[in-house]
Amino acid sequence: MILVYADHDLGVLDPLSLQAVTAAKALDTDVQVLVVGADGRGTADELAAHGATTAHLAVHDALTDYTPLAAARAAQQLVNELSPRAVISAGTPRGNEVLAHLGALMDVPMSADTVSITLSGTGNHEVVRNRWGGNLLETAIVHSPVLLATIAPHTVTALESPESVSVREFTPALDPIDTAVRVIERTGAGGGGIGLADARVIVSGGRGVGSAEGFESLEQLAELLGGAIGCSRVVTSAGWRPHSEQVGQTGTKVAPDLYIACGISGATQHIAGCRSAKTIIAINTDKDAPIMGFAHYAVIGDLHAVMPALVEATRAAKG
């Protein structure tokens, strides 16, 4: 059996958790999920549609919002009770955090950002995991009776594999220390825009945009295409755009249908964040920029000339 920690936020499942279930399903037909918090009950059907047979719902008065150590405690109790061969999670900030806590509680290793897993019966599991944001791959042996691993985002396509799920509610034994670190408040909700991680189209700007004002035509195109604005690290360091829009190894890793890279040279740190995009279009004055080795289509030229014309033509094409 494989246990999957399902990352949800107030009952909304992170879609990467479905990729983790599919990855687990490739290792074992028996995939069970841990959902922490009563508000996560509604995620069981979606998880079952992708192959989960049992959803273990950890319910406790103290679990009203994300509480990382308590989630790991709940996972540890299931590991002791059910002896899974592996505990898997999506490589989201929460997935990585909860499995790292679990590794610390159990004093076993944890493989983060994993792209392939070969389980062993003798506690020497082979994994391949990302380094440098996926620019290098590491093959490693995890010496542990139970493998703990998080799955690198967008390396697995979530597949439907409907099962009838039984929801089993349990109350984890928690000490006050387990719930000391928890979300106590949420601020700055919304903002109206489409989140980077979920956007189908991202119009992204780099050094070539030249200024904060230079993003105006990028914003117009993003709005026309129902997309979001992204940017490179240079742009956030210069203060032209907020860090929340940074795409890259230290920013957000995205996988949109279309990624338009405007004035972005394509440093490895940036490519690590956008290489999963289905189509990449580069608009750049430099025909030899590294981005040209990753882009599907390119326009050679100054984005300040191309973008306003592209905005007009797109508006016209939409009618």
Q: Which of residues 164-193 bind other proteins (CB under 8 A)?
A: 177, 180-191, 193
Whether 10 and 35 have beta carbons less than 8 Å apart is answered as no
- Residues numbered 77 to 136 that lie near other proteins (CB under 8 A) are 93, 96-97, 100-101, 103-105, 107-113, 130-136
Using the minimum distance from each CB to other proteins, give the nearer residue, 162 or 300. 300
* Residue from 29, 120, 211, 314 binding other proteins (CB under 8 A): 314
> Which residue in this structure is represented by tokens 């230079």?
214
> Left if phi > 0, otherwise alpha if psi is -120 to 50, otherwise beta: which for 129?
beta
Strands 136-143 and 86-90: unpaired
Only one of the segments 21-29, 37-45, 81-89, 194-202 lies at the binding site for other proteins (rule: CB under 8 A); that segment is: 194-202
Whether 104 and 213 have beta carbons less than 8 Å apart is answered as no
Question: Could you tell me the end-to-end alpha-carbon distance of the chain, in angstroms, rounded to an integer?
Answer: 54
Closest CB 194 distance from other proteins, rounded Å? 9
Closest CB 53 distance from other proteins, rounded Å? 28
d(Cα 120, Cα 191) in Å, to the nearest integer? 47
Using the minimum distance from each CB to other proteins, give the nearer residue, 80 or 317. 317
| Angle value at C-alpha 30, between 27 and 33, nearest 5 degrees | 100
Closest CB 168 distance from other proteins, rounded Å? 28
- Residues numbered 256 to 295 that lie near other proteins (CB under 8 A) are 257-258, 267-269, 278-279, 281-282, 287, 290-295
Which residues, other chains included, contact 29 with Cβ-Cβ below 8 Å and sequence gap of 6+? none
Kindly determine how many residues on this chain lie close enough to bind other proteins according to the rule CB under 8 A. 98
Using the minimum distance from each CB to other proteins, give the nearer residue, 54 or 179. 179
Using the minimum distance from each CB to other proteins, give the nearer residue, 51 or 95. 95
d(Cα 39, Cα 58) in Å, to the nearest integer? 10
For residue 232, the one-letter residue type is S
Using the minimum distance from each CB to other proteins, give the nearer residue, 32 or 179. 179
* CA atoms within a 13 Å half-sphere pointing along the CA-CB vector of 117: 32
The reply on whether position 64 binds other proteins by CB under 8 A is no
